[in-house]
Amino acid sequence: MTDKSLPFDRDQLEAIAAQVPTPFHIYDEGAMRANARAFYEAFSWVPGGFKNFFAVKALPNPFVMEALKEEGLGGDCSSMGELVLCEAVGIKGEDIVFTSNDTPAYEYRKAAELGAIINLDDIRHITYLEEALGGTLPELLSFRYNPGPLKAGNAIIGKPEEAKYGFTREQLFEGYRMAQAKGVKRFGLHTMVASNELNPDYFVETAQMLFDLVVELNRELGITFEMLNLGGGIGIPYRPEDTAVDLKLVGEKIREAYEATIVANGLGPIKITMECGRMITGPYGYLVGRVLHRKSTYKEYIGLDACMANLMRPGMYGSYHHVSVPGREDAPKLVCDVTGSLCENNDKFAIDREIPTPEVGDLVVIHDSGAHGHSMGFNYNAKLRSAEVLWQGGDQWKVIRRAETLADHFATLDYPGLSG
């Protein structure tokens, strides 16, 4: 069986668990920072500069966001709460890109108040935004392009022509004409057509698509673009046999496309941005639980104190997350389902998975929970949200979100004996 390594051992985790009851999510700060720096290095060639707007939805914790801000990352937001998180961390102005859909006017006003780059999802939102802002549009405006059948999506995000996001090609040209007529002076262009994609050529093809479109829009409308947002979607190697995307290779191939299209047509310099979240933090987060029970019926089951409410991706998408049993690496192997305690049969972290045989009381670590893990948690069955821990190496760590209590869960109920 191919395995995945852990940055900490059982004794280190037990020392934390002695103070932070399981289950909890733990994040490797040093690895996240190093990964962010490697990303920037791969695009250091960009004449107009490169910036990654961290997708706040992936891991909306201000302590993590603060660390990433120190590495030069901005914030990609799609809601009021995410905008407020950025504001609290000190991410403001054009270090925020606000890309949302079915957006209420008050969220557009908040984005404008912070000076964020507003990236519209719908041609009708040009006038909607104008009205929300009292009859004016921002000086800088970006539109989200949905290429429809011209570009294949992938299994997670689906076919672009069936997605609810973005402008069609025809709407894009019309929208920029409208924006010009309404006094917009600075322009950006964005697309997002894949999620958790491991094929490096996919991102090069996406960049080429936008580069070609920029040339056409410039020729037809005279627009000079100052920012191209290639979206996110860079995947991570959830399975031990997966290969991580080679960022240097992607950066170099996009550089070649940029020079052959943008530079060759006398355009630029253009700032290139992305909005990766999963790739930045995903591999460096771990859900730590403890074995409560072993059950033997028609199958073998290992039951944890963690459940789908702590990490819903396996139950919701059938996603693979690797399972380690620290300290039991040399134990005999067991084929089992690794389960939680929700009253739902899809509350399983792994199905028919071969793992080192754990004992009741052992810690179990579920890998790659650093994106869309805690942030997608929920309270079904009145389950409580877990703590989050930022690990800084060795015995250095801190709680960055305490575990939810029953008082927290019932706080919005005005009912005797429950509220407060």
Catalytic sites, residue numbers: 343
Distance CA 217, CA 192 (A): 19
Q: Which parts of 297-362 are beta strand (E)? A: 300-304, 323-324, 333-339, 348-356
Tell me if residue 397 falls in helix, strand or coil. Answer: strand
Distance CA 53, CA 231 (A): 9
Distance CA 383, CA 136 (A): 46
Contact 383, 344 (CB under 8 A): no
Contact 232, 275 (CB under 8 A): yes
Residue 386 to residues 12, 306, 374, Cα–Cα distance (Å): 19, 9, 8
Distance CA 360, CA 87 (A): 44
Contact 135, 158 (CB under 8 A): no
Secondary structure letter of residue 412 according to DSSP: T
- The H or E element that residue 27 is part of is strand 24-28
Q: What pairs with residue 88 in β-bridges? A: none
Distance CA 128, CA 102 (A): 11
Q: Does residue 269 have a cis bond before it (omega within 30 degrees)? A: yes
**In this structure, what token pair is assigned to residue 415?**
């009912």
279 phi/psi in degrees, rounded to 5: -65, -30
Return the closest-CA partner of residue 388 out of 407, 379, 375.
375
407: which residues sit within 8 A by CB, 6+ positions away? 420
Q: How many CB atoms lie within 10 A of CB 49?
A: 13
**In this structure, what token pair is assigned to residue 87?**
């504001």
**In this structure, what token pair is assigned to residue 234?**
């860079």
